[in-house]
Copies of this chain bind each other. A is one copy, B any other.
Amino acid sequence: MKQRITLKKIAKEFGVSISTVSKALKDSHEISEETRGRIKAFADFYNYKPNSLALQLRSQKTKVIGVIIPEIVHHFFSTVIDGIERYAIEKGYNVMVCLSNESYEKEVSNFNLLTNGSVDGLIVSIARETQENQQFKHYEGLIKDDFPLVLFDRINDDLNCDKVIIDDIGGAYKATNHLIEIGSKRIALLTTQDFITVGSLRKEGYLYALKSNGIEVDESLIYKIDDNQNLYDQIEKVINVPNPPDAILAVNEIYAANALICAKERGLVIPTDIAIIGFTSGLISEFTSPPLSCIVQHGYLMGQQAAELLINRIEHTGPKEFQKEVISPNLKIRKSTLLDH
* Interface positions of A (Cβ within 8 A of B): 26-30, 33, 49-51, 54, 58, 64, 71-73, 75, 78-79, 81-82, 85-86, 89, 94-99, 101, 106, 109-113, 115-118, 138, 141-142, 144-145, 147, 254, 257, 260-261, 264, 282-284, 286-289
Contact = CB atoms under 8 A, between A and B. Distances in A.
* 8 tightest A-B CB contacts, nearest first: A289-B289, A97-B97, A29-B141, A72-B78, A257-B287, A96-B96, A287-B288, A284-B287
A31 to B, nearest CB: 10
B98 A97 contact: yes
Contact of A94 (B58, B82, B110, B145): B110
A30 B97 CA distance: 20
A117 B62 CA distance: 13
Contact of A27 (B49, B50, B58, B260): B58
Number of identical protomers: 2
A3 B263 CA distance: 79
A252 to B, nearest CB: 12
Contact of A49 (B33, B49, B94, B257): B49
A26 B51 CA distance: 12
A109 B118 CA distance: 15
A71 B81 CA distance: 10
28 contacts: A26-B117, A28-B115, A29-B141, A33-B144, A54-B54, A64-B113, A71-B82, A72-B78, A73-B79, A73-B82, A75-B75, A85-B99, A86-B101, A89-B101, A89-B106, A95-B99, A96-B97, A96-B98, A96-B113, A97-B97, A97-B98, A118-B118, A257-B287, A261-B287, A282-B283, A284-B284, A287-B287, A289-B289
Contacts of A115: 28-29
A336 to B, nearest CB: 12
Nearest to A84: B99
